Amino acid sequence: MATICNDEEKFPVTQFVIDDEAGPIGPGGTRALMTSVMGTGPGMKGGPYKLLNSLRFWRTNVNDDGCAAIAEVLRLGGADVQISYLELFDNNIGLRGCMALGAALGQGGNVSLLTLKLDYNTELGTAGVEYLCRGLRTNISLRQLHLAYCNVQADAGKYLGGVLSNQRSGLQVLNVQGNRINGLGLVDLCEGLEMNLSLEKLILADNMIDQEPADQEGLRALRNCLQREQCSVTNIDFMYNRIGVEGAAILAEALTPENKKVKEFLVDLTLPMKAFDSIFRRDAGGKKGKKGGKGGKKKKK
């Protein structure tokens, strides 16, 4: 079902929301919709629809061909159709779709897009991240990149690190939850993070960062980043990574009471309480959360 709306629930239309309630529109339907946005179909008059700023496709089988059509709107219509928010949730997007998006978002391309969400595209994988990042490593306008549950492996760490290494990058949120970055990928990602000046929130939850020597090497790389004076990261989600007591001890070297910059560091209660207390922080002015709730613990009476 397509929902066409704006914040005030009246015209002019600023947002398209398309889901699978009446069945997926597929790549053909996506191409038709993008043609209507650009006003390039036979007999269409008036040119691009300039008020659109948000596109959300949820489980509509956009696929690579449909993604390429969206990328063309970003690339060719960026001056007129200034889309700032693009969400392609669970849409079977893979390598070719990422190639098109990367090309559209590279230097000299689109500068209006602020948020890109590609969560649950399991065909995307490491190869898709590589081609997407080829464009994003020269992008200076994107603020949020979400790649949760996209079947991304450790090799993708170097491509994500390449994006972060751009000191002109405006990226503030990087979400790679639910992948397999593990310690090897974390080392490569942190090589870019060492040079980054903009990232504020890093979501690494559920990434198979465990207790092997390679995982501990990744934790040491992250520790070094957090100890860097120029580090801009304030919020880190590390839930569902089984780092153990030794891993917590490595991170605790950076998460000292003197480090006021890191306001939130989330880990779960698979850690023993002492190790948990040494690194857990809930976003409350840098103080450790001890009031219960998700990931927290209650004070003893």
Distance of alpha carbon 33 from alpha carbon 79, whole angstroms: 19
Give the Å distances, CA to CA, from 111 to 96, 98, 147, 155, 167: 21, 17, 20, 28, 17
The pLDDT of residue 301: 37
Question: CA 267 to CA 245: how far, in whole Å?
Answer: 12
Q: Which residue has the higher pLDDT, 170 or 13?
A: 170
pLDDT at 45: 77
The pLDDT assigned to 13 comes to 87
Kindly tell me the number of DSSP H helices and DSSP E strands found in the chain.
9, 10
What are residue 109's phi and psi, to 5 degrees?
A: -105, -145
14, 52 contact by CB (below 8 A): yes
Q: What is the mean pLDDT of the chain?
A: 91
SS3 content of the chain, % helix, strand, coil (to 5): 35, 15, 55
Give the residue, 116 or 48, on which the prediction is more confident.
Answer: 116
In 27-184 the beta strands, taken as DSSP E runs, fall at 54-58, 85-89, 115-117, 144-146, 173-175
- For residues 59 and 14, give the distance between their C-alpha atoms in angstroms, rounded to a whole number: 21
**Binning pLDDT at 50, 70 and 90, where does residue 10 land?**
low
Q: Are 69 and 101 in contact (CB under 8 A)?
A: no
Q: How far apart are CA 189 and CA 202, in angstroms?
A: 11
The string of pLDDT tens digits covering residues 205-227 is 999 999 999 999 999 999 999 99
Assign 295 a pLDDT band (cuts: 50, 70, 90).
very low
Residue 285 clears pLDDT 60, i.e. is over it: no
For the chain, the structural domain boundaries read 1-113+124-138, 152-301
CATH 3.30.300.30 fits 152-301, yes or no: no
- DSSP-derived pairing of the beta strands 264-266 and 2-5: unpaired
End-to-end CA distance of the chain: 53
Give the pLDDT confidence of 219-257 residue by residue, as tens digits. 999 999 999 999 999 999 999 999 999 999 999 999 999
Residue 16: count of CB within 10 angstroms of its CB: 17
Q: Say if residue 299's pLDDT is above 80.
A: no
Percent of residues, the chain, with pLDDT higher than 90:
82
The candidate with the shortest Cα–Cα distance to 136, out of 202, 74, 82, 93, is 74
Does 1-113+124-138 match 152-301 in CATH topology? Answer: yes
Burial of 204 (0-12, 13-18, 19+ CB in 10 A): buried
pTM above 0.75, yes or no: yes
Pick the range with the lowest mean pLDDT from 42-51, 78-87, 206-215, 291-300.
Answer: 291-300
Q: Rounded mean pLDDT of 8-16? A: 74
Q: What is the pLDDT of residue 297?
A: 45
Looking at domain 1-113+124-138, its CATH class is alpha beta
- Indicate the pLDDT class of residue 8, thresholds 50, 70 and 90: very low
